[in-house]
Amino acid sequence: MLSETKAIVLSKLKLNDNDLIIKCFTEQRGIVSYLVKGAFKSNKKNPVIGYYQVLSQLILIDDFKPNRNLQYIKEVKSLCIYQTLQSDIYKSTLVLFLSEVLATCLKEESKNEELFNYLSNSFQFIDHEDDIANFHLMFLLRLSQYLGFYPELKKENFDYFDLESGLFTHSNTGVYVISGENAALLKQFLETNFEAYHSIKLSAAKRQSFLNMLLVYYDLQLGNFKKPKSLDVLHQVFH
């Protein structure tokens, strides 16, 4: 049965000389993997491969069958066309990093329209922004809200934050309790509107330290969280 859904491409894998497997987060069904036959046979008249860049937003008409591991796309068109996100060197580095994080976090994610809208709106927003150095920090922090482990705010006045429990605390007793600069930055990000992330001024060293803390937080909350291969490149670009 043919059906239509919005989709965001999370990853792609070349299967052979001509075919492609893409993993998408879709609005209607959550995570779906598709086999795109003849993707690398595309040309100017049939630019198939151009649709399937990482984090591209698409409208798909697919022939979905629940018991099939790989689904088939009957028609595809762009939901939105990015102006800079996949061409600017700094933004394309962010794209690589964020797509790796999402591919790890959303392995079994089912339908979640709020999460889909958050991702869609975030990527369209950053596409038009110039100051992007702190975007991934705010993005990951707010993403945790949709994944179910957003930091508890009731005791935000405490000086310590336990990465394992996701709670602010008055004592530095846990193995994964943070304090000092990263705890203060966490409070600052939590108190800042998403669109105002660039108002937080950070050196490259502080940005790296805070990001590494967030990745530990993700690992503790999700389990089996893979360190993105692009992390070192991200640090080099935003040094």
Q: Would you list the domain boundaries of the chain?
A: 2-80, 89-237
State the CATH class of domain 2-80. Answer: mainly beta
Of 126 and 173, the structure prediction assigns the larger pLDDT to: 126
Domain formed by 89-237, architecture:
Up-down Bundle (1.20)
As beta bridge partners, residue 63 has 2, 72
| Backbone phi, psi, residue 7, to 5° | -150, 150
Euclidean distance between CA atoms 155 and 188, whole angstroms: 14
**pLDDT value of residue 194:** 95
User: Taking 70 as the threshold, does the pLDDT of residue 47 lie above it?
Assistant: no
**Which is more confident, 62 or 50?**
62
Give me the mean pLDDT over the 107-114 stretch. 87
Residue 159: which pLDDT band, with cuts at 50, 70 and 90? confident
More confident residue, 155 or 80: 80
> If you average pLDDT over every residue of the chain, what do you get?
91
pLDDT digits (tens, 9 = 90+) for 56-80: 999 999 999 988 999 999 999 999 9
